[in-house]
Structure 1
Amino acid sequence: MSDAKFESTTSFIFGLFTLFFFFKKQKLHGIFALIFLILSFKRIAILGVFAGLSLHVLLRKNSLFNQHAKFIFITIIIVINFIVPLIQILIATGSFDDIVENLTGITANHFTQGRQYIYDAIVGKFGLPSFTGEGIGSLNSYLISKEDNINNVHSDLLKNLYEFGYIFFALWVFFFYAFLLKRKHIGALCLAIYINIVFITDNVMIYYEVMFVYYLMIVTLLDDEFVNQLKKVRSSLIALIINKC
Structure 2
Amino acid sequence: MTALDDVRVTVPAGQTVGLVGESGSGKSTLAKAILGIVPVAAGRVLLDGAEVPVRELTRRVRMVPQDPYSSLNPRRTIGQTLAEAVDPARARVGRHRDRIEAALAEVALPADAADRYPHEFSGGQRQRVAIARALICEPEVVIADEITSALDVSVQAEVLRLLDRLRHERSLTMLFISHNLAVVEQVSDEVVVLHHGQVVEAGPVDDVFAAPQADHTRALLAAVPGGGRSPEGTIVE
TM-score, normalised on structure 1? 0.26
The structure richer in helix per residue is 1
Larger Rg over CA atoms? 1
The structure richer in strand per residue is 2
Q: Which has the higher contact order (CA 8 A, sep 6+)?
A: 2
TM-score, normalised on structure 2? 0.27
